[in-house]
Amino acid sequence: MKRKYKHLFLSTIMVVIILLTLASCFSAPKETALMKEVGVTVSITEYKIRLREFGYRFAGIVELSADEIISKSTDSEIKKQALLWKIYAIPAMIRSLSINDPLAAGIDSWILSVQMLQYFEDGYGKDHFGEYQDIAITASKLIISDIENLAREIKGTDDISKGQKITKDWTNENPIENNKFLRVSALDKVAHIIGSEGYDLGTTVESIAISVDELKNQVTLYTDYLPKQIKWQAQYELYNFLG
């Protein structure tokens, strides 16, 4: 395994260790200022459960879609790009879901989903999969549909046009421009974007803090995919070896 992929593997393990260590250091607020400001209509517990379910669905859709591309294509470069999609997009979503303020986590997850669609439709990844590009585009649209349905439910209204504008504007200004899904965080902009006057630096720090329950959930998701990450990285190295 090449040095950079050893580093990625070790980094993934370190994330799990850090999350477990931090789990004893933070506690979650009963209700966040951001959720009050926006007017969420469901309980925090229910919303967190739904958001966690979305995270698993995101991972599942990406994995199955990438696998479909790998199985259909005979081009090793396309296969490698599909593997990289799984290797990097799923951890990117887990990082978004790790934000303690569930609404901020939801917004950042929504933004990532829109960024992924733009990435495959007309952005950096528009040529990654050749004739199978539509598989990635369709998967991204399905993921956006899921997160937007969740947004409608927590708001208690079908009108989510403000959220759609936020995510589109942020994506236009901050597209993903690499196949490792490294991206500009929207955390420091979330409250200002939605017009929350009371969301200052202190509140931002609170929202970044990780609660015990959420850490346990994210550790579970990380550990569920850790064996798969190892397998995918090995497959990627095999394609590199075979040329």
Expressed in angstroms, the distance from the first to the final Cα of the chain is 15
Task: Give yes or no for a contact between 4 and 163, defined as CB atoms under 8 angstroms apart.
Answer: no
CA nearest to 205, candidates 32, 11, 65, 15: 32
Q: Among 1-10, 73-82, 122-131, which is the least confidently predicted range?
A: 1-10
* Count of Cβ atoms closer than 10 Å to residue 158 Cβ: 7
Q: Looking only at Cα atoms, what is the longest distance across the chain?
A: 56
Please state, in angstroms and rounded to a whole number, the distance separating the CA atoms of residues 81 and 87. 10
DSSP for 145-192 reads HHHHHHHHHHHTSS--HHHHHHHHHHHHHS---STT------HHHHHH
pLDDT, tens digit (0-9, with 9 covering 90-100), for 160-195: 998 899 899 999 999 999 999 999 878 766 656 555
* Residue 192: partners with Cβ closer than 8 Å, 6 or more residues away: 199
Average of per-residue pLDDT across 94-106: 85
Q: What 8-state DSSP symbol labels residue 130?
A: G
Q: What is the pLDDT of residue 77?
A: 96
Q: What is the pLDDT of residue 64?
A: 98
pLDDT, tens digit (0-9, with 9 covering 90-100), for 11-58: 555 555 545 544 444 444 455 555 555 556 667 778 888 999 999 999
pLDDT, tens digit (0-9, with 9 covering 90-100), for 147-164: 999 999 888 889 999 889
Task: Give yes or no for a contact between 84 and 120, defined as CB atoms under 8 angstroms apart.
Answer: no
How much is the pTM? 0.78
Q: Where are the domains of the chain?
A: 3-25+44-242
Q: What is the pLDDT of residue 22?
A: 44
Per cent of the chain over pLDDT 90 is: 49
Q: What is the pLDDT of residue 215?
A: 56
Dihedral sign from CA coordinates of 224, 89, 87, 78: positive
Please state, in angstroms and rounded to a whole number, the distance separating the CA atoms of residues 78 and 57. 23
